Structure 1
Amino acid sequence: MVKLIRIGANKIGIDGAIAFTILSRIIQAGGGVISLMMVAKCLTKVEQGYYYTFGSILAIQIFFELGLSGIITQFVAHENSNLIWQNKTSFTGSVESSSRLSSLLRFTLKWFAVIAILLFFGLVIAGYVFFNKFGKENINVDWQIPWLILSITTSLSLMVSPLLAYFEGLGRVKEVAKIRFLQQLIQLLLLIGLFSYGFKLYSSPIAATLAFLIVPIWIIFSSKIKMLKFIWTKVDKWTVNYRSEIFPFQWKIALSWISGYFIFQLFNPVLFATEGAIVAGQMGMTLTILNSIFSLAFSWISTKIPVFSSLIAQKEYGKLDELFNRTLLQSTLLNILALTTLFAIIFVLRYFEIKIGGKNLSERFLPYLPMLFMMIPILLNHAISSWATYMRCHKKEPMLVPSLVIGILCCISTLTLGNYFGVIGLTSGYMILTVIAFIWTYSIFISKKKEWHNG
């Protein structure tokens, strides 16, 4: 039986890393559903608006992280391809690659320690200014301390997450996936318990803080700390130069990521400011499920980044394309299945007027048409992100111009159409721009692949 399961898993592209990532995404998606019910049961509609708008404002960490974690994974994977691991904590091989790997570790720890401090002050100020201005009529909502706790935890997470990206670059994708799965599970259980005991908006900050502690504990009390110490001592005259190697790549990705904020995270704050906390809450609840679906499907691609980078470093382009195309097909089919299932479930909730704690759960989601306008971009963005990942594994960023243009247009569309036509205008404008981005990205993907591989 176990053998049959393994054969079936291999046919649909599920390896160990993907398996744990899938479990993590299932916990995230299932937890999203459970948290939706807990939010609907334990929070008022106004508090729900705060709950989901918190997440959108926390996403300004993009402006501080600037895509560097993904770059670290790719750079580490390229150097790691020249090394032979003797055991879990040491390796032999190219002295140059060993030294460059060590310099990457030193850079990662120093850089993100500074960025995390800046992020903390940025989050605290942005949150207090926004909610004091647009939520001043909601005087009964206790949001100040929860926001402070979330700001602290998010900043600390920014210090640790690049280390996970570093481990992934070393090929420890399965181990990282395991620890992220454990984090998701613990955070979900804590969230359920805290909501049940009436912690309201405090529930998510406390759960996130306790779940965060899993990563530093795992690093300190395992072989990972010995591995890091071993790599730290390998620095020599060969180092990775940030200005000449990382920055020319990063600034393009950074602008793309910043554009992504205006594409994906502006909906809730705009609706909160223009239509109030209740509509923002509906958008937030709908996006929570849709983003879980996107993350689950994209895990097929994201767990392969070290493999893609390694194949590119060895110029095994045939194997690269075979693996990428198969993975993209598998993940796209999963995406379609999940979106169809979600639409059917929401239809059933509305048709039978299913209630949670005496509250109609269907009222917490967007109406059908705007919901459909958000579902179509989720599918298209899966392909867009997959093609962009493939190209970025070449240590290149050809998505700068499209990301900037679409980001600016999406920002204008969200602010303008959202203000004049409400949620219908906001979502329809987003869908049209995503279709344009899909066509544009595909043409770049085909063109660049021929250029780089033929060269």
Structure 2
Amino acid sequence: MSVASSPSRSLNISKISKSIKASVTKDVMFTLVNSLWRIISGPVTLVFIPLFLTSQVQGFWYTFISLAALTVFADLGFTTIVTQFAAHEYARLTFNAETGLFEGETNDIKRIGSLLRFVFKWSVSVGAVGFPVILSVGFLMFRGKGGNVNWPLPWCVYVLSSGLSFTTQSVLSFFEGCSQIAAIEKNKFVSAIASTIATLTFLYFGFNLYSLAFAAFIAAAINIGMLYFRFGKLIAQMVTESKGYIVNWKTDFLNLIWRYAISWSSGYFIFQIYTPLMFQFHGPAEAGKVGISMALASAAFSISYVWMYVANPKLNMYASTRNWKAMDKLFIKNLSLSLITFSLGAILVLSILYFYGDAFKFFHRFLGFVPMLILLLAWFFQIIINGLAVYLRAHKKEPLVVVSVALAIYIGITTLLITKYLPPKYLFLGFLTAVLWGLPVVAWIFVKKRKEWHV
């Protein structure tokens, strides 16, 4: 017996379809194109690494990446605050695409120009102090464990590239706040293509760790060039008009950054501690398995989180204008799309590992089905936590400091004990159990603060 579709059901489907189409703005489209490239390039790179690197070099490769993530201690949430402050200032301006300049009250243009000056000076100063420290940490960790692996010079080049990228990303975060996400994603797309091609080419010709270092340097150089090409005229306008105009941004930032600093520092232990610990206790080969598995899970997360990424500037603008209804609607819709996208990607990854994990030697370079299941489950709940945090931070406040520290301490201790005493397949149990108890706490804070602030 057939059942005809009811008009109301057809109407609901039509509404959902229109809602999704409306969500695909130019920002979303270019971000998704960039993410689509990552969908293509990520797996290809993951194939090339086991094919052209030994298990030892693979371990150094991913430990390089994890140690370079110590950038978080130089950033300390600065780039996120930059986006928020820029969005709040830009709410009173418009961007003229034909002239490539801001339009609005002269005083507002001077304010946002002085903010750009501050962002650049701060990032250069912090980078000059922070990245030599990161370089030294790497030398201390790798010394005596390299064997025949040539790591010192590639490590130096890679850290230098990370320093250049840090300053560039700080400026790009400023323009993200000014609703220039589409243009920024175009820049990232060009640099991502160049980086991937360079990585694969260098790997093919046997450059080993130099492949990672040189590709990172090329990407940093292209990002700097594209930043000047796309925003050079706008930067000149802001720098010229804000000359001599003083705003005490340092005080405003310091009032907020200490909270972000704690949260961002905690983030390193939540997301990046696994590969260095495995390197320390089980050697480069096991660290390589952890690193490449983390890269796979992180790729799924990054692709799905596009929806929240593109919503962030608008969430800040809605908070600035106190348009709570629009803010809630955008948040719920984009967080839902992120969770759906991640779930589809996780199912695909787990299906491949379950059916083909033992059949091909290639997959032996990864952790198995069980640790990947644990890791992907943890990331699913982490998407919700991240989404709630983005919503709260749009109010230029950071109420999750204590939770972040508690999660970091818990994950750091449990992961250290697991790495030392249990098989590698249980490595991510600390991460999963942390988000399982952390999510209800964050949700409670979210409900409480939303009610308190939206009056």
TM range (shorter): over 0.9
CA distance in 2, matches of 1:400, 1:88: 42
CA distance in 2, matches of 1:337, 1:239: 50
After TM superposition, the structure 1 stretch with the greater mean CA deviation from structure 2, 335-344 or 89-98, is 89-98
1:262 matched to 2:272: no
CA distance in 2, matches of 1:277, 1:12: 47
CA distance in 2, matches of 1:84, 1:429: 46
1:126 matched to 2:137: yes
> Structure 1 residues 9 and 144 mapped into 2: Cα distance closer, same or farther (>3 Å)?
farther
Q: CA offsets, 1:132-187, max 9 Å, x none?
A: 15x1xx42111111111101100111111111111111111100011111111111
Q: CA offsets, 1:215-267, max 9 Å, x none?
A: 22123334x11111111123278754234311121111111010000111110
CA distance in 2, matches of 1:236, 1:179: 28
| 1:12, distance to aligned residue in structure 2 (A) | 7.5
CA distance in 2, matches of 1:404, 1:205: 32
Letter of the 1:129 counterpart? L
Secondary structure of the residue aligned to 1:443 is helix
Secondary structure of the residue aligned to 2:82 is helix
> Structure 1 residues 202 and 236 mapped into 2: Cα distance closer, same or farther (>3 Å)?
closer
Query: Is residue 101–residue 231 contact of structure 1 (8 Å, CA) maintained in 2?
Result: yes
CA distance in 1, matches of 2:250, 2:228: 31
Q: CA offsets, 1:120-143, max 9 Å, x none?
A: 31122111110115x1xx421111
Q: CA offsets, 1:342-377, max 9 Å, x none?
A: 1111223324x23xxxxx111111122222111111
CA distance in 2, matches of 1:74, 1:312: 10
TM-score of the pair, normalised by structure 1: 0.92
CA distance in 1, matches of 2:318, 2:35: 26
Of 316, 327, 335, 1:328 maps to 335
Match of 1:163 in 2: 171
Secondary structure of the residue aligned to 1:85 is strand
> Structure 1 residues 395 and 90 mapped into 2: Cα distance closer, same or farther (>3 Å)?
same
CA distance in 2, matches of 1:172, 1:88: 15
Match of 2:421 in 1: 420
Match of 2:3 in 1: none
Secondary structure of the residue aligned to 1:395 is coil
Secondary structure of the residue aligned to 2:110 is helix
Query: Is residue 29–residue 289 contact of structure 1 (8 Å, CA) maintained in 2?
Result: no
Letter of the 1:321 counterpart? D
CA distance in 1, matches of 2:109, 2:94: 10
Letter of the 1:350 counterpart? G
| 1:21, distance to aligned residue in structure 2 (A) | 1.5
Query: Is residue 69–residue 165 contact of structure 1 (8 Å, CA) maintained in 2?
Result: yes
CA distance in 2, matches of 1:237, 1:452: 36
Of 120, 138, 151, 1:143 maps to 151
Letter of the 2:165 counterpart? S
Secondary structure of the residue aligned to 1:91 is strand
Of 247, 251, 258, 2:254 maps to 247
Higher RCO, Cα 8 Å, sep 6+: 1
Any unmatched runs of 5+ in structure 1? 355-359
Taking the TM superposition and a 5 Å limit, the aligned residue runs for 1:291-306 are 291-306=298-313
1:195 matched to 2:203: yes
Secondary structure of the residue aligned to 2:149 is coil
Match of 1:430 in 2: 431
Letter of the 1:382 counterpart? I
> Structure 1 residues 239 and 423 mapped into 2: Cα distance closer, same or farther (>3 Å)?
farther
Query: Is residue 99–residue 237 contact of structure 1 (8 Å, CA) maintained in 2?
Result: no
| 1:96, distance to aligned residue in structure 2 (A) | 3.7
| 1:10, distance to aligned residue in structure 2 (A) | 4.1
CA distance in 1, matches of 2:284, 2:422: 17
Taking the TM superposition and a 5 Å limit, the aligned residue runs for 1:350-365 are 350-351=357-358, 353-354=359-360, 360-365=361-366
After TM superposition, the structure 1 stretch with the greater mean CA deviation from structure 2, 57-66 or 180-189, is 180-189
Match of 1:357 in 2: none
Q: CA offsets, 1:276-305, max 9 Å, x none?
A: 111111111110010011111111101111
> Structure 1 residues 281 and 99 mapped into 2: Cα distance closer, same or farther (>3 Å)?
same
Query: Is residue 368–residue 425 contact of structure 2 (8 Å, CA) maintained in 1?
Result: no
CA distance in 1, matches of 2:304, 2:191: 19
CA distance in 1, matches of 2:229, 2:87: 24
| 1:98, distance to aligned residue in structure 2 (A) | 2.1
| 1:321, distance to aligned residue in structure 2 (A) | 0.5
Match of 2:385 in 1: 384
CA distance in 2, matches of 1:420, 1:88: 62
> Structure 1 residues 236 and 45 mapped into 2: Cα distance closer, same or farther (>3 Å)?
closer
Query: Is residue 278–residue 419 contact of structure 2 (8 Å, CA) maintained in 1?
Result: yes
Letter of the 2:179 counterpart? G
Of 42, 45, 51, 1:35 maps to 45
Query: Is residue 187–residue 208 contact of structure 1 (8 Å, CA) maintained in 2?
Result: yes
CA distance in 2, matches of 1:331, 1:13: 12
Any unmatched runs of 5+ in structure 2? 1-13
Query: Is residue 279–residue 287 contact of structure 2 (8 Å, CA) maintained in 1?
Result: yes
CA distance in 2, matches of 1:253, 1:451: 21
Query: Is residue 349–residue 361 contact of structure 1 (8 Å, CA) maintained in 2?
Result: no
Match of 2:291 in 1: 284
| 1:394, distance to aligned residue in structure 2 (A) | 0.7
CA distance in 2, matches of 1:127, 1:405: 27
CA distance in 1, matches of 2:25, 2:193: 20
CA distance in 2, matches of 1:443, 1:41: 47
> Structure 1 residues 31 and 92 mapped into 2: Cα distance closer, same or farther (>3 Å)?
closer
- Identity, % of aligned pairs? 28
> Between Structure 1 and Structure 2, how many residues are aligned?
439
Letter of the 1:453 counterpart? H
CA distance in 2, matches of 1:170, 1:120: 28
